[in-house]
Amino acid sequence: MRDNFVREKMLEEKKEKQVHQEIMKAIIETKQDLAFANQNYEYAQGDLIDYYAYEIKANRARLDYLMKKAKSKSIALDRIHEIQMRMQEDKVV
């Protein structure tokens, strides 16, 4: 997992618009991580089954936390905004 805790601590210091963008980006990344863990879980064998089960549980908990945070700040992440943000990330990379 990434240094998510450090990044979230830094969010408190940014302007409101930047905070909204960072939360939306974190939600998108967490959804991608969750999808990746779910996909790998399907093909995992042995000890990797436990590893990916843990990853799934951790990503779900993080997504729940981020969604609650977004809701408390009245942030709405719909599919259109999510797609736009992903397209912007692809252009940057």
Q: What is the DSSP string of the chain?
A: ---HHHHHHHHTTS-HHHHHHHHHHHHHHHHHHHHHHHHHHHH--THHHHHHHHHHHHHHHHHHHHHHHHHHTT----HHHHHHHHHHHHHH-
Distance, CA of 61 to CA of 67 (rounded, Å)? 10
Give dist(CA 89, CA 52) in Å, integer: 26
Q: What is the rounded CA–CA span in Å between residue 48 and residue 42?
A: 10
Contact (Cβ atoms closer than 8 angstroms) between residue 91 and residue 80: no
Residue-wise pLDDT for 52-82, tens only, equals: 999 999 999 999 999 999 889 888 777 667 7
pTM for this predicted structure: 0.71
Decide if pLDDT at 27 tops 60.
Answer: yes
Closest CA to 41 of 61, 22, 56, 63: 56
